[in-house]
Chains A and B, each alone.
Chain A
Amino acid sequence: MSPMALATYVMVSLFAVSYILFFIVVTIGGFFDLKKLIRCIKVDQIDLLDDNCESGKEEAPPPR
């Protein structure tokens, strides 16, 4: 087996195992984040000017 093949297999194994563990952490963490998102969206104040359209106009520099 070539050194490149050996290095590839070592990396594949390391990443595959850490990926599975990482996936479990992210799934559990995501669930709690999701609960928090829904709670925040329900109670948040609405900013009508925060609409992706008006904010840029005042700050736009004169065209060069």
Chain B
Amino acid sequence: MSPVDWGIAGFLLALLIGVAVYLGRLNKSVADFLIAGRQVRKFLGMSSGTAEGLGLASIAATLEQGMRNGFALIWVSMILMAYTIPVFGILGFGIKRFRATRCMTIPEFLQKRYSPRLRLLAGIILAMSGVLNMAIFPITGSLFITSFTGLPEMFTWGPWTLNSVQVIMITLVTLAVLFTFLGGMVTVVVTDYLQATVLVSCLIFVGLRTFFLLGPATIHKTLQDNLGDAAFNPFQKGSYGWVWIAWVLLLTTFNKLAFAPSVQKMASADSPETARKMELLQNIFGMGMRIILLLIGIGALAALGGPAAGESPDLYFRFAAAIHLRETLPMILLGLMFAALLFSSISTDDSYLLSWSAIIVNDIIQPIYGKPISPKIHIRLIRTVILLIGIFLILFGLAYNPQESILDYIYLTGTLIGGIGISVFMGLYWSRATSYGAYAALLTCTLFPIGDLVGKQWVGKTYPFTPQQSGLISILGAVVAMVAVSLITSNNSTAPGWVDYGEKLREVEMQPKGEIS
């Protein structure tokens, strides 16, 4: 990369830090810090949600999918959209009712609906899986950026010899901590919007450039020669397969109301209707982004081909697209793309840092402490936890040597919280859902993935299930456990803590616009 490209990226980053410092002054309360005072409207929330969902690890994983499976992932997204758009985007199933509860976090809802102890358990599971889930992001992101910039493995700075990957990783974590630390959700939402604008513009431009440079005929020939029909059909042998698709569909559905960063964005919406619209727009927007990224990945496949004989396919596909972009993008565009990649890492990490720190303080520390905390101390405590998570991320990245697929890691930690999503959906819609049922769902979803992980360490390749099968069994098992245990423990009556959330939502929607909170 030329000095001009480094200068462009540095200038944009400095501009963003300036905005973050200015916005940090606007926070006056815990609600401002955690959910931007519930004042986020649909376009801003959607842009911010896009930036949060489009982290550097997701970009690297989707580019990798383009090289490995062509456009097949699009059909998985289509199947997902065929029911998420009507159910969540149009009807607002679960989303509108949750927003009407005015809860800021999922465990807070679980306390209201089930029991304070469940809040504590859910808080521990969410924090554990969430921090472990994001722990892989800085290290994979810095590996991708090192490939993209072409930095040498080691470089000297004054008297020190430094490792490029580690320096980039520490910089990424420090920036994310700084953004979250300064202004909480207000800073996160606004800077995410700015980051999404730069990131998506760059990706669209690079995607169009790839398309026009290659042309449709070359794209088709590349896919046919390298992947055959599996490039267009996710059910084809060599592609994803139905077990993987079923697992991802169920996981995406139940995690809709379990994955804390997304739920926190939902809680920051200015009304239940805005939360529904944000969900609808994000679904459509995410599909477009996926297409652009897959196209760039296919462009890399056309230029570089598959891995050489003896080369590890996992390592090759993980970084080939980054190397391809570095070698083909012209000056200035390379600098803008570098800034966009940095932004994608920061925007995801800062949202996650805020969510997991809020959960640790509000749903673990505060219930154990048991006394009210003043807003000033409350925000200070959240900031301390943000800092501690940042230190953990750096230590994890320094010690971690990535062996497995990024997607497998992300989905495995994602399955751990599936039981929480099931408890929330059932709690919102089923009067007989009990706390015992919720405990059963939470534990089923936690034990199966851990069993998978430990079992494989114990018996190695003879373990009878693949991660996809274990994930699918976990989620289906948790639904069955929730229903069965609730039916047994509810004694044919409405469970304590049940509120008709449909009625509550209608009350909220009756309020004049501008008065909804």
**Do A and B make up one complex?**
yes
A contacts, CB < 8 Å to B: 1-2, 4-5, 7-9, 11-12, 15-16, 18-20, 22-23, 25-30, 32-34, 36-38, 40-42, 44, 46-48, 50-57, 59-64
B366 cross-chain contacts in A, Cβ below 8 A: 53
B119 cross-chain contacts in A, Cβ below 8 A: 56
Inter-subunit contact A34/B190 (CB<8 Å):
yes
Q: Which residue of A lies closest to B115 (CB)?
A: A63
Inter-subunit contact A4/B232 (CB<8 Å):
yes
Inter-subunit contact B291/A64 (CB<8 Å):
no
Inter-subunit contact B436/A64 (CB<8 Å):
yes
A29 cross-chain contacts in B, Cβ below 8 A: 42-44
Give the Cβ gap from A56 to chain B, nearest Cβ, in Å: 4
Interface of B, secondary structure class, is helix
B103 cross-chain contacts in A, Cβ below 8 A: 52, 55-56
Inter-subunit contact B44/A51 (CB<8 Å):
no
Give the Cβ gap from B371 to chain A, nearest Cβ, in Å: 10
Inter-subunit contact B232/A61 (CB<8 Å):
no
Q: Lowest 7 A-B CB distances belong to which pairs?
A: A19-B288, A29-B43, A61-B497, A33-B44, A61-B496, A33-B41, A52-B104
Inter-subunit contact B111/A56 (CB<8 Å):
yes
> With the chains together, A4 CA to B239 CA distance in Å?
14
13 chain-A/chain-B pairs, Cβ below 8 angstroms? A18-B288, A23-B201, A30-B44, A36-B41, A41-B32, A44-B32, A47-B29, A51-B29, A53-B378, A55-B108, A60-B111, A60-B115, A62-B496
Give the Cβ gap from B215 to chain A, nearest Cβ, in Å: 13
Give the Cβ gap from A3 to chain B, nearest Cβ, in Å: 9
* Additional 14 contacts, C-beta under 8 A, given A16-B291, A47-B29, A60-B115: A8-B232, A15-B287, A19-B292, A20-B288, A33-B44, A38-B190, A44-B37, A48-B29, A51-B373, A56-B111, A56-B119, A57-B116, A64-B435, A64-B496
Inter-subunit contact B375/A48 (CB<8 Å):
yes
> With the chains together, A58 CA to B102 CA distance in Å?
15
B14 cross-chain contacts in A, Cβ below 8 A: none
Q: Give which listed residue, A4, A19, A30, A59, contacts B46 with CB less than 8 A.
A: A30
> With the chains together, A15 CA to B74 CA distance in Å?
10
Contact with A along B22-44 (1 / 0, CB 8 A): 01001011111010110111111
A33 cross-chain contacts in B, Cβ below 8 A: 40-45
